[in-house]
Amino acid sequence: MNSHSKALLEIGSLRVEVAGYTVCQGLNLALYPGQCWAMLGVNGVGKTTLLHTLAGLRPAQSGNVFLKGAPLEQLTGRARAQQLGLVFQDRPDQFPTTVLETVLASRYPYLGWLGWETERDKGLVYKALAAVDLANLAHRETTSLSGGERQRLRIAAFLAQDTALGLLDEPLNHLDPAYQVRIISHLVERARHQGGALLMVLHDVNLAARFCDHCLLIHGDGTTSAGSTEEVLTENSLQRLYHHPIVPVVTPWGRGWLPG
């Protein structure tokens, strides 16, 4: 599986820099239907910068990014939004709006020239709100939501956008443990069931090990490690990644990790 036509996202020889700092160089990666990737690294290493580059929000210094075989830079914004969903980290409210209106806005890339939502659009929106326990808050203004509720709202908007590929920047931020497991379980199950793929920035190595089948490690010196979770998440690789002793533990779901 290495042709552009089969990969939802393909990265070739990518070099990304920010403020004179090299996030990655020579990065080659492909995300195929059904795969769920975790991106791991210490704070400030450039994970968000890389994610935004893959979404086309900023240019790479060199290399190529393809969405379903098409060069990313050749796609219109509307075409990108129909294929790629992005969850931002702590995005502020731009103007007062309700929960329902916020999620409805995620259907904009699919609307016809009249701009009216169809019954299918509304169905996807209410289904997304129910999936994150926000259906009962549909008419609340977003400014009245807690941090965790706002995060679930971002996830709902992503779900309603209904794209095959998702790039999610700390999607479990502000969520309590129960919602962390519930949300990531739903995201992963949905992607695998619908033939989609996810690349998620995570800080919890154990959630990555439990739910993601592949991992991308950003080491901070321009180098990266990528592959299956079982191959990439090792005691040595995690100690190198986090600059701290990491010890393996046994969990009900398999191998886990704790700071030493």
What is the structure's pLDDT at 97? 92
* Cα atoms found within 13 Å of the Cα of residue 72, Cβ hemisphere only: 22
Overall average pLDDT of the 51-72 stretch: 96
**Which stretches within 28-146 are classed as H helix?**
47-54, 77-83, 99-104, 119-131
| Residue 2 domain flag | no
How many domains, the chain?
Answer: 1
Q: What is the share, in percent, of the chain residues with pLDDT greater than 90?
A: 90
pLDDT of residue 114: 65
Q: Is residue 32 part of a domain?
A: yes
Q: Which tokens hold the place of 172?
A: 């479990």
CATH code where residue 39 lies: 3.40.50.300
Task: Classify strands 62-67 and 9-18 as parallel, antiparallel or unpaired.
Answer: antiparallel
Q: Read off the pLDDT of residues 216-259 as tens digits, 9 standing for 90 and up.
A: 999 999 999 999 999 999 999 999 999 999 999 999 988 999 99
Q: Does residue 4 form part of some domain?
A: no
Residue 3 lies in a domain: no
pLDDT of residue 92: 67
Is 232 contained in some domain?
A: yes
Within 8 A by CB and 6+ apart from 190, the residues are 159, 196
Strand 197-201 versus strand 224-228 pairing type: unpaired
| Tokens 């619908």 sit on residue | 194
Residue 33 in domain? yes
Could you give the CA distance from residue 150 to residue 159 in angstroms, rounded to a whole number?
14
Containing domain of residue 246, as a range?
Answer: 9-259
Question: Does some domain include residue 1?
Answer: no
**Residue 65 belongs to a domain:** yes
